[in-house]
Amino acid sequence: MSYRIIDDGHISSPQGYRATGVSAGLKEVKSRDLAIVYSTKPARAAAMFTSNAITAAPVFFDQAVLSRNRDAIRAVVINAGHANVATGQQGLTSAIDCAKIAADELEVPRDAVLLLSTGRIGTPLPMDKMRDGIRRAASELDSGGGRRAAIAILTTDTKPKDRALALSLREGGSIIVAGMAKGSRITAPRQSTQLCVLTSDVSMDAGLLARSLEQAAARSFGRLVLGGEASSNDTIVLLANGAADIAPIADASSWEFGAWQEALEIVCADLMQQVVRDAAGGGKIVQVHVRGAIEEEHARMIARTVAKSAAVRRACAQANGEWGSVLIAVGASEADLRADLLEIRIGTVTVLQEGIARPFEQAAAVQALSGGEIELTIDLHLGTHTAVAWTGTSE
């Protein structure tokens, strides 16, 4: 596969997309806080939503829209400052009104608009500000506005997160995959990151697109563990408008689909890493690698349990070489394992082998824990399945 990262690429880098972000006065500190991503052509859509039983009005709204229209989405409206959750019927009415305003301004069908919200829980959307912001954003859309959109969706984040990648296909054509994300201190997605929008000019059946997104999310955002609970607003949306001059990708076993899938996963993994680095702030990034599991699900269980462990993150933050917390987290995961086969490494330093503590250079372990990025490896020596989880330690 031949691909390249687009310098200064953003959500509107693929053909046929426009975007912007404006200040609508939705956040306490004046900044861009409302974004629109617009496709000049009807786009097929795939989406994944929070696993939390408490869902925000925009999540409920999007699920309803996508149940009847996955083939002709035209716009995504994202607001920061107000999550529009725990707002009852008023919140749903506000979501419907926002979609109507955007549809009218963009001159698209009302069931062609999706909504994402993030911010304070339990406060109604200030509809006068939303109305003015949507109208202004709709009038300022352009193909170079992706970075403004990425800035507008931030809440506790310290920097925008976006990426665009160009993929060359065998027939000489090319497609672009792009994305933007937000998510910082409270992110523990089982299905998606806190908020993420992905765009492409590829042409693909909606069912195949959904399958592609699910796999890409599982291999990227699904490995992210920061905080304790999934947000009520967690959403990933993927739009594919077919604006690139290439044949539609219709076969999941084709070379073209494999190349597309790799490109999508690269973009998603890049965005996920930007989220975890921002969440860590001046702290450390921790990668938990689990190998040798009987089943992939067991590997994931262990990786997530270790990554969620406050004791593990504290040991990593303090760089004290204390590895017992890792062992305890592995045992608490409820995954299948044999203690007499277990191996644990901190960086390249083996601290446990065949279930028995091994002598090691304390200074080497401390050094492995002292950098900005730490690798913890747990090898079960039971099978061939693996999993990775990412987490971070705050400053």
The C-alpha atoms of residue 152 and residue 164 are separated, in whole angstroms, by 18
Is-contact 293 380, C-beta < 8 A?
yes
Residue 377 Ramachandran class (φ > 0 left, ψ -120 to 50 alpha, else beta):
beta
The C-alpha atoms of residue 352 and residue 270 are separated, in whole angstroms, by 32
Read off the tokens for 250.
Answer: 């219709």
Is-contact 316 393, C-beta < 8 A?
yes
Is-contact 121 128, C-beta < 8 A?
no
Q: How many C-beta neighbours within 10 Å does residue 215 have?
A: 15
In sequence order, the β-bridge partners of residue 235 are 49, 195
DSSP, res 147: H
- Is 305 annotated in the active site? no
Residue 323: how many CA atoms within 13 Å on its side-chain side? 27
Read off the tokens for 176.
Answer: 């672009």
Per DSSP, helices labelled H in the chain are 57-68, 88-106, 127-139, 146-152, 206-218, 255-280, 296-308, 310-318, 324-332, 362-370
The C-alpha atoms of residue 58 and residue 92 are separated, in whole angstroms, by 7
The C-alpha atoms of residue 165 and residue 263 are separated, in whole angstroms, by 7
Q: Would you call 41 helix, strand, or coil by DSSP?
A: strand
Is-contact 81 108, C-beta < 8 A?
no
Is-contact 76 114, C-beta < 8 A?
yes
DSSP, res 371: S
Catalytic residue among 50, 87, 193, 235: 193
Distance of CA 37 to the CA centre of its chain: 17
**Is the torsion defined by CA of 214, 76, 74, 40 positive or negative?**
negative
Q: How far is CA 208 from CA 125, 205, 211, 250, 252, in A?
A: 35, 5, 5, 7, 7
| Active-site residue set | 193
